[in-house]
Amino acid sequence: MTKARDLMTKEVKYIQEEATIKETLTRMKVERVSSFIVERKDHDDAYGIITRKDIITKVVETGRDLEYTKVKEIMTKPILMVSPGLDIKYVVRLMKMGNIRRAPIFDGKEIVGILSNTDIINALLK
């Protein structure tokens, strides 16, 4: 059976929660990504995530200012994470139940990858 580790993207992109949405969008464009994991304040803090959808629905749609709105104001935190050894069918179920499109892969110590619905679809087409 295919596991989360088999399909995940290993290069995870991070951003600070104090970054502005304008900075975030600029980095998304340059790095060609649709989301960032939000770095924790310390080891006991939870990870967050910010996505293009968050920016559209929580900033653009509501008329907030890109220059002054911070990542921490609109990010999702805490986030659902999955184990690298979790079978893909269970990852899909968790993503569906959580209404999410991507899940960070957490090995118990750190995030080692991220798995998106695009990664799963691309694997089906191989």
Q: What is the pTM of this model?
A: 0.92
Question: What value does the mean pLDDT take over residues 86-103?
Answer: 95
pLDDT tens column, 23-70? 999 999 999 999 999 999 998 999 999 999 999 999 999 999 999 999
Given the candidates 3.10.580.10, 3.40.50.880, 3.40.190.10, 3.40.50.700, the CATH classification of the domain at 4-124 is: 3.10.580.10
According to the model, what pLDDT value does residue 125 have?
87
**How far is 47 from 40, CA to CA, in rounded Å?**
5
**How far is 16 from 25, CA to CA, in rounded Å?**
13
At residue 124 the predicted structure's pLDDT band, cuts being 50, 70 and 90, is confident
